[in-house]
Chain A
Amino acid sequence: MYRGEKKSIFYVLGLYLSSTLLLITTIFVSYYYYERDQFEHSEKDLLRKYTLLLTQQLSTLNENSSQKYKYPRFDEFESAIYDIDKNLIFSTNRDINITNFKDSFFIKESNSYLLSPLTPYYFGAAFIIIEKKSKNLNILNNLIFIAIVTIIITLITSIFLVNLVLKPMRENIKLLDNFIKDTTHELNTPITAILTNIETINSSSCDEKTLRKLQRIKIASQSISNIYEDLVYLLLNHKTSTQNIDLNLREMLHQRVEYFTNMATAKNIDLLLDAKEDIDFKADKKKMQRLIDNLLSNAIKYSYKSTNIRVVLNETTLSIEDEGKGMSEQEVKKIFTRYLRFDKSQGGFGMGYSIIKAIADEYEIKIDIVSKETHGTKVTLSW
């Protein structure tokens, strides 16, 4: 999986899933309300029939003249009658206690109620209330189950779709990656050849002009070599084994400063190294070299001409301070983003700080950057 692919998959999945979820929720909510309406409608119809039945019975009962009247009772429902002032006249169920005479139909504690006005007032009844055990509307559990199944199916389909969508992009990136890898590999031999041959040229046999030209070729080759090393680190980072050994940072710094001296001299920059003590640090030699090289080459790249770069090594810190164009606060915040370059006039790919950050994170090294525009930047590594 290439870098960023995971992110793309998450984004597309998120988008696909959230829109599907929204759609499912809308459909299900609408369906639920539709079903509930249907349910209420059928309940209301039934309760209306019961009301009619009770009204007929009350009417018949009222026509008879008697000392006592047996209130009509039914197995299917309970009922109660209220007078016009909302006083209870008779109820077949003591639990029927209506206080709200506004709603004609309502469901309370799994019972359905229908309140209907009555005229004429048989036995004084101005309102009839019918109570019936309501059927359970069991669709909610089913809906949740269907929703979960739908989401799982959507998830599987979306993963398949995302893979399908990303396939051409992945192939292109793979092609590009392979190309870069091959190119990088092909670069190695000529760079090594140039650098080795420059080293073997006898400087005493050259005149001063040729010597300056050779010096420039050497610096340019070193720059290419640095880029090559960065590329190798980025491309093969996860494929090469790390060999952590005790490194003498002072020695290493001396070596790297010497290596960059030519580059610095070309801009009339003095590399001042202050590393008195031998400091041991357990790390992979190549990685530490990449870390230091990137810090030094950045410092040289962004330094003004005829300035100093101070490299100070202490027991727990290494700081590299240049007198260059510096960065704004926003730029410092974004500095570790790969391929981001603030100054397009300088060469490079913007990989430097992302490599520095990756290596520093691996060895739990803290990076502090203090920078002031037009004054310079101080990078401090502490461990």
Chain B
Amino acid sequence: MVKILSFFLLLCISLGASEFDKNCFDCHSQDFKFHIIMNKYTLKFSSEKRIKEAMFDYLREPSLDKSILPLEYIQKFGLKEKSPLDDKTLREMIDIYYEKFNLQSKLF
């Protein structure tokens, strides 16, 4: 029973991870500093709920004032394009991203 459950759990994670790979690495390369973005969001928004909400807002409608990156960076590379993902998928991807990179769970 435990084995079946563990297998099922691994399957879910790997499926979720592959979805994340598919939806995110399309645009961001493998060496994209995901953890730096998470750190910046954490420093600014503190709680999981607020971080996720801010990310969703930005990816849905990217704007200068919503961006957490320095102005110089945006001026150089420009604003990110609007995410082509639907709301549900986008939220799921943000959940996976938070799960993988959040700082709070790394504290011991």
Q: Is A202 an interface residue (CB 8 A)?
A: no
Question: How far, in angstroms, from A124 to B108 measured CA to CA in the complex?
Answer: 15
Q: 1/0 contact trace for A50-65 toward B, CB 8 Å?
A: 0000000000001001
Flag if B50 contacts A84 (CB, 8 Å): yes
Flag if B108 contacts A69 (CB, 8 Å): yes
Q: Is B18 an interface residue (CB 8 A)?
A: no
Q: Given the known A-B contacts A83-B47, A84-B50, are A121 and B108 also in contact in the complex, defined by CB atoms under 8 Å? A: no
CB distance from A80 to the nearest CB of B (A): 11
CB distance from B98 to the nearest CB of A (A): 11
Q: Is B22 an interface residue (CB 8 A)?
A: no
Q: Is B42 an interface residue (CB 8 A)?
A: yes
The size class of the interface chain B forms with chain A is 10 to 19
B residues with a Cβ closer than 8 A to A are 35-36, 39, 42-51, 103-104, 106-108
CB distance from B51 to the nearest CB of A (A): 8
Q: Given the known A-B contacts A62-B39, A65-B35, A69-B103, are A125 and B108 also in contact in the complex, defined by CB atoms under 8 Å? A: no
Flag if A83 contacts B35 (CB, 8 Å): no
Flag if B108 contacts A83 (CB, 8 Å): no
Across the A-B interface, the 7 shortest Cβ-Cβ residue pairs = A84-B46, A83-B47, A121-B46, A120-B43, A85-B47, A124-B46, A83-B46
Main secondary structure of the interface of A (DSSP, over half): loop
Residues of A within 8 A of B48 (CB): 83, 87, 124
Flag if B45 contacts A89 (CB, 8 Å): no
Residues of B within 8 A of A16 (CB): none
CB distance from A4 to the nearest CB of B (A): 79
- Extra 19 A-B pairs, beta carbons < 8 Å, given A124-B45, A124-B48: A65-B35, A68-B106, A68-B108, A69-B107, A71-B107, A83-B48, A83-B104, A84-B47, A85-B47, A85-B49, A85-B50, A120-B43, A120-B44, A121-B42, A123-B42, A123-B103, A124-B46, A124-B47, A126-B47
Contact of A121 (CB < 8 Å), options: B44, B106, B107: B44
Q: 1/0 contact trace for A64-100 toward B, CB 8 Å?
A: 0111111100000000000111010110000000000
Flag if B107 contacts A126 (CB, 8 Å): no
Question: How far, in angstroms, from A120 to B103 measured CA to CA in the complex?
Answer: 14
Main secondary structure of the interface of B (DSSP, over half): helix
CB distance from B104 to the nearest CB of A (A): 5
Question: How far, in angstroms, from A69 to B35 measured CA to CA in the complex?
Answer: 13
CB distance from A258 to the nearest CB of B (A): 112
A residues with a Cβ closer than 8 A to B are 62, 65-71, 83-85, 87, 89-90, 120-126
CB distance from A254 to the nearest CB of B (A): 110
Residues of A within 8 A of B45 (CB): 84, 121, 124
Flag if A71 contacts B108 (CB, 8 Å): yes
Closest to A83 in B: B47
Residues of A within 8 A of B51 (CB): 124
Question: How far, in angstroms, from A67 to B103 measured CA to CA in the complex?
Answer: 9
Question: How far, in angstroms, from A374 to B103 measured CA to CA in the complex?
Answer: 104
Closest to B43 in A: A120
Flag if B47 contacts A87 (CB, 8 Å): yes
CB distance from B24 to the nearest CB of A (A): 19
Residues of A within 8 A of B50 (CB): 84-85
CB distance from A51 to the nearest CB of B (A): 17
Contact of A90 (CB < 8 Å), options: B35, B46, B49, B104: B104
Flag if A89 contacts B106 (CB, 8 Å): no
Flag if A123 contacts B104 (CB, 8 Å): yes
Question: How far, in angstroms, from A62 to B47 measured CA to CA in the complex?
Answer: 16
Question: How far, in angstroms, from A66 to B39 measured CA to CA in the complex?
Answer: 11
Closest to A90 in B: B107
Flag if A67 contacts B46 (CB, 8 Å): no
CB distance from A123 to the nearest CB of B (A): 5
Residue contacts A-B, CB under 8 angstroms, 29 given: A62-B39, A62-B103, A66-B106, A67-B106, A68-B106, A68-B107, A68-B108, A69-B103, A69-B108, A83-B48, A84-B45, A84-B47, A84-B50, A85-B46, A85-B47, A85-B49, A85-B50, A87-B47, A89-B107, A120-B43, A120-B44, A121-B43, A121-B45, A123-B42, A123-B107, A124-B42, A124-B48, A124-B51, A125-B46
